[in-house]
């Protein structure tokens, strides 16, 4: 089979007689036979032809038996293919549709950026001076996706193409969230795994699986060492931030050892247990003393920044100790008469105890080395409802930025853990608006940390303790409001289910179900309304309003956690280790590798 050097040799379809005598007048022709003409038919072949895959020319030849001047199929006696050469490169015109496409160019740019970021990552151990662990409580993959879209739409975009701050981090992986004794976990067991490197049972804080929940004495010998404690022993500054009560399971795992996550203050403990174990709030205030007692001969200076909610667990059950913004007639819960805020102030006379926005704003990071901030009687407000706080309270991003400004005064670096605790609470209430707006604020807090630190010396890990039974479903068109009803591609009216009623894109597999509370921004108000099972006609309901609670398939008083994997995102020294699917306890080991926490703490103890 011949090859053409140039495709242009394949001329358009042509009919040509051969040169020489055509054999007319009964004479044998030079090129014909018995007075017949010899004809050649050339047919151009398109790319993809079965014989010439890259195109070419098919050349048929034969005698014009019927003397009509045309070569018919039955007159063809010989066929030859002249194929175009194999294409080894494409011209700019050949790939214009691809190369000029926005998705294609964005992908190319992303590869270049990823290569640049990866090249900057310090891969040797001990290169991280600072470590920040961000935990979006209950922030499963569907929550990240929906929050990304919601924030994008709030900025005038279609939404799906938007990125949250941690979406841009160069490394990511997955975390398996189960507890040792539970397929679907809770925050106590999961955060203990992340911050101490050991998976444990549901409901226990800072202790290994050998402890029995609710049995104080069973924790003896089962106490784990958290990354915060290791950092403290290594001479680093340490901080804990949460929008939940600071004694809640996730933040408590950084500093406490408890057989029950619910033992937030002494009034929560059975008397028999309180005689032998210290409640979680008391352990926070006595963090320095307890750590020095556990590791004899060390000298630490205690937690430097503590910010969150939960004042009730630090104050006596006496109205005389009520704060200015107390919601309950008696704010404090403690039955032992102790005012732990006063005890903290006595330990750190130069430290600042604050309880509102004014006090927070007055903190001068350059002149402050200790801050204890309790902004609410119980949990802090949902971000969507924060403006309604009686005394005012800072956002998670504001707390994160100020904490870093204080902690980075230490030349040895710092360890900080930041929890967006109310993502979880919004989901439990069945209110996607609350959960997603708190996730967006969480993303802003991560961005604040990225802005205030350097990839060269700060490892930032962003993850979740567990997921929720929160779904994104249906076939809505691109840019359809993520909190809205499903509207199909090319449609302008909501799609209808088999029951003839519209349905929302996001929803819950279980929980309290539908409620329409309009502009109400406090998702906890939903608990004061009945559980609604089954479908509701949403035709006239504004499902994007803060007070709309999504339908749930299985009616429960509170929506539950889910058991699937959650994401891990990382930047900075050691971030390259965050890849693939991992046990949740692996996160601690990444932080340890990056900052040499165990090695440095061990040197201090010896």
Can you say which residues are annotated as belonging to the binding site? 137, 248, 250, 419, 424, 428, 465-466, 561
Cα separation, 204 vs 312, whole angstroms: 21
Rounded distance between C-alpha atoms, residue 473 and residue 482, angstroms: 10
Give the H or E element holding residue 509: strand 506-511
Neighbour count for residue 91 (Cβ, 10 Å): 8
Burial class (CB in 10 A: 0-12, 13-18, 19+), 43: middle
Binding residues for Zn(2+): 137, 424, 428, 465-466, 561
Residue 53 CA to its chain's centroid (Å): 47
Closest of 218, 192, 215 to residue 205, by C-alpha: 192
187: annotated active-site residue: yes
CB contact at 8 A, 412 and 364: no
Scored b (16 or more CB within 10 A) or e, 278-302 reads bbbbbbbbbbbebbbeebeeeebeb
Q: Which of 301, 416, 305, 287 is nearest to 353 (CA)?
A: 305
Query: Which residues 6+ apart lie within 8 Å of 565 measured at CB?
Result: 141, 174, 175, 176, 177, 467, 581
User: Looking at the DSSP assignment, which residues form a beta bridge with residue 583?
Assistant: 176
- Given CA atoms 544, 558, 141, 379 in this order, what sign does their dihedral have? positive
To the nearest 5 percent, what fractions of the chain are helix, strand and coil? 30, 20, 50
CA dist., res. 37 & res. 35, Å (int): 7
Q: Active site residue: 165, 172, 175, 187, which one? A: 187
Return the sign of the alpha-carbon dihedral for residues 10, 11, 12, 17.
negative
Tokens, residue 36:
């017949």
Q: Alpha-carbon distance 600 to 604, whole Å?
A: 6
- Is 398:354 a contact under the CB 8 Å cutoff? no
CA gap 174, 193 in Å, rounded:
14
Binding residues for Mg(2+): 137, 248, 250, 419
Q: How far is CA 540 from CA 494, 516, 543, in A?
A: 11, 11, 9
Tokens of 225: 């060492």
| Straight-line distance from the first to the last Cα atom of the chain, in angstroms, rounded to the nearest whole number | 82
Structure tokens at 330: 């008696």
Name 376's Cβ contacts closer than 8 Å, sequence gap at least 6: 309, 310, 311, 325, 389, 393
- Residue 412 DSSP SS3: coil
In the DSSP assignment, the letter for residue 461 is E
Q: Give the whole-angstrom CA distance, residue 238 versus residue 451.
A: 19
Active site residues: 187
């Amino acid at each position: 089979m011949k090859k053409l050097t140039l495709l242009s040799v394949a001329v358009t379809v042509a009919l040509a007689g051969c040169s020489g005598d055509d054999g007319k007048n009964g004479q044998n022709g030079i090129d014909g036979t018995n007075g017949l003409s010899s004809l050649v038919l050339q047919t151009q072949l398109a790319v993809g032809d079965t014989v010439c895959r890259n195109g070419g020319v098919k050349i048929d030849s034969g005698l014009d038996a019927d003397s009509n001047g045309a070569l018919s199929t039955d007159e063809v006696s010989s066929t030859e293919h002249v194929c175009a050469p194999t294409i080894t490169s494409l011209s700019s015109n050949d790939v214009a549709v691809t190369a000029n496409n926005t998705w294609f160019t964005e992908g190319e740019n992303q590869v270049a950026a990823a290569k640049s970021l990866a090249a900057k990552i310090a891969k040797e151990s001990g290169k991280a001076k600072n470590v920040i662990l961000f935990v979006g409580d209950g922030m499963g993959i569907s929550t990240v996706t929906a929050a990304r879209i919601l924030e994008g739409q709030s900025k005038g975009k279609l939404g799906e193409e938007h990125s949250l701050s941690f979406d841009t981090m160069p490394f990511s992986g997955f975390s398996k969230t189960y507890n040792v004794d539970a397929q679907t976990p809770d925050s106590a067991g999961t955060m203990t795994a992340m911050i101490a490197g050991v998976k444990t049972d549901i409901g226990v804080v800072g202790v290994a699986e050998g402890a029995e929940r609710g049995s104080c004495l069973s924790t003896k010998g089962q106490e784990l060492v958290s990354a915060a404690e290791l950092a403290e022993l290594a001479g680093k500054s340490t901080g804990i931030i949460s929008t939940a009560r600071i004694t809640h399971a996730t933040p408590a795992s950084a500093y406490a050892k408890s057989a029950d996550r619910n033992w937030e203050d002494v009034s929560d403990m059975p008397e028999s247990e309180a005689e032998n174990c210290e409640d979680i709030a008391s352990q926070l205030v006595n963090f320095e003393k307890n750590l020095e007692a556990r590791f004899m001969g060390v000298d630490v200076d205690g937690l430097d920044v503590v910010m969150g909610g939960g004042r009730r667990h630090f104050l006596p059950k006496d109205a005389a100790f009520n704060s200015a913004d107390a919601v309950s007639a008696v704010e404090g819960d403690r039955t032992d008469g102790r005012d732990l805020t006063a005890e903290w102030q006595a330990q750190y006379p130069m430290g600042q105890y604050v309880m509102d926005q004014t006090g927070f704003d007055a903190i001068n990071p350059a002149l402050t080395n200790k801050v204890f901030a309790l902004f609410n009687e119980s949990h802090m407000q949902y971000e969507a409802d924060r403006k309604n706080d009686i005394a005012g309270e800072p956002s998670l991003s504001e707390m994160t930025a100020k904490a870093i400004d204080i902690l980075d005064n230490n030349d040895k670096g710092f360890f900080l853990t930041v929890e967006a605790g109310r993502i979880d609470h919004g989901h439990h209430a069945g209110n996607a608006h609350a959960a997603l707006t708190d996730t967006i604020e969480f993303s802003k807090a991560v961005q604040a940390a990225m802005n205030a630190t350097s990839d060269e010396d700060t490892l930032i890990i962003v993850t979740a303790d567990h997921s929720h039974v929160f779904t994104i479903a249906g076939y809505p068109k691109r840019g359809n409001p993520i909190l809205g009803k499903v509207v199909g591609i090319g449609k302008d009216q909501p799609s209808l289910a088999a029951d003839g009623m519209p349905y929302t894109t996001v929803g819950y597999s279980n929980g309290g179900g539908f409620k329409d509370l309009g502009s109400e921004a406090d998702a906890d108000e939903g608990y004061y309304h009945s559980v609604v099972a089954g479908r509701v006609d949403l035709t006239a309901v504004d499902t994007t309003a803060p007070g709309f609670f999504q339908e749930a398939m299985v009616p429960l008083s509170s929506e539950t956690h889910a058991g699937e994997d959650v994401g891990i995102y990382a930047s900075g020294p050691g971030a390259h280790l965050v890849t693939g699917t991992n046990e949740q306890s692996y996160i601690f080991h990444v932080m340890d590798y990056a900052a040499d926490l165990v090695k440095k703490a061990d040197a201090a103890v010896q």
